[in-house]
Chains A and B, each alone.
Chain A
Amino acid sequence: MKKYILVRLLYMVIAIALIVSITFLLLQFMPGSPFNDLQLTPEQRVLLDEKYGLNDPIPVKYARYVSNLFHGELGTSFIFNNQDVSDMIAARMSSSVRVGLQALVCGSVIGVLLGIVAALKRNSFWDHLTTIIAVIGVSIPAFVIGSLMQYYFGVKMAILPVIYDKGNAVSTIMPTIALAFSVIATTAKYMRNELVDIINSDYILFARSKGLTGSEVIIKHAVRNALIPVVTILGPMTISLITGSTVVERIFSVPGLGNLLVTSIQNNDYFVILGEGLVFSLMFLSVVLVVDILYGLIDPRIRLAGGNHNE
Chain B
Amino acid sequence: MEKILEVKGLKVNFKTQGGTVQAVRGVDFDLCAGETLAIVGESGSGKSVTSKAMMGLLASNGSIVGGSIRYNGKEITTMKEKEFEHLRGRDIAMIFQDPMTSLNPCMTIGHQISESMIKHQKLSRKQAREQTIELMRLVEIKDAEKRYKQYPHQFSGGMRQRIVTAAALACHPKILICDEPTTALDVTIQAQIIDLIKSLQKKLDIGIIFITHDLGVVANVADRVAVMYAGKIVEIGTADEVFYQPAHPYTWGLLASMPSMSDSKDELWSIPGSPPDLINPPKGDAFAPRNRFAMQIDFEEEPPMFRISDTHSAATWLLHEYAPKIQSPLAELRQRR
Contacts and interface: CB of A to CB of B under 8 A. Distances in A.
A208 interface: yes
Contact of A202 (B88, B96, B153, B154): B96
B93 interface: yes
Interface of A: 201-203, 205-214, 216, 220-221, 224-225, 228, 298-301, 304, 311
A300 B151 contact: yes
B89 interface: yes
Interface of B: 55, 57, 81-82, 85-90, 93-94, 96, 98, 101-107, 115-116, 119-120, 151, 153-154, 164, 167-168, 170
Contacts of B106: 224-225, 228, 298-301
A76 to B, nearest CB: 51
- Residues of A contacting B: mostly: helix
Given A301-B151, A304-B151, A209 B93 contact: yes
Contact of A209 (B107, B154, B168): B168
A221 B103 CA distance: 10
A211 B87 contact: yes
B89 A205 contact: no
Residue of A202, A211, A298, A311 with highest tally of chain B CB at under 10 A: A211
A209 B101 contact: no
Contacts of B85: 211-213
30 contacts: A202-B98, A202-B101, A206-B94, A206-B96, A206-B102, A206-B167, A207-B104, A207-B115, A208-B57, A208-B88, A209-B55, A209-B57, A209-B94, A209-B168, A210-B116, A210-B167, A210-B168, A210-B170, A211-B116, A211-B119, A213-B82, A214-B81, A220-B107, A221-B104, A225-B104, A298-B106, A299-B106, A300-B106, A300-B153, A311-B154
Contact of A205 (B87, B96, B107): B96
Contacts of B120: 211
Contacts, number: 78
B43 to A, nearest CB: 17
Contact of A225 (B57, B82, B94, B105): B105
B239 to A, nearest CB: 27
B103 A210 contact: no
Contacts of A304: 151, 153-154
Contacts of B105: 203, 225, 300-301
A208 B93 CA distance: 10
A203 B104 CA distance: 5
B159 to A, nearest CB: 11
A209 B104 contact: no
Given A202-B96, A205-B96, A300-B153, 7 more contacts: A202-B101, A203-B101, A206-B103, A206-B164, A207-B104, A210-B168, A301-B153
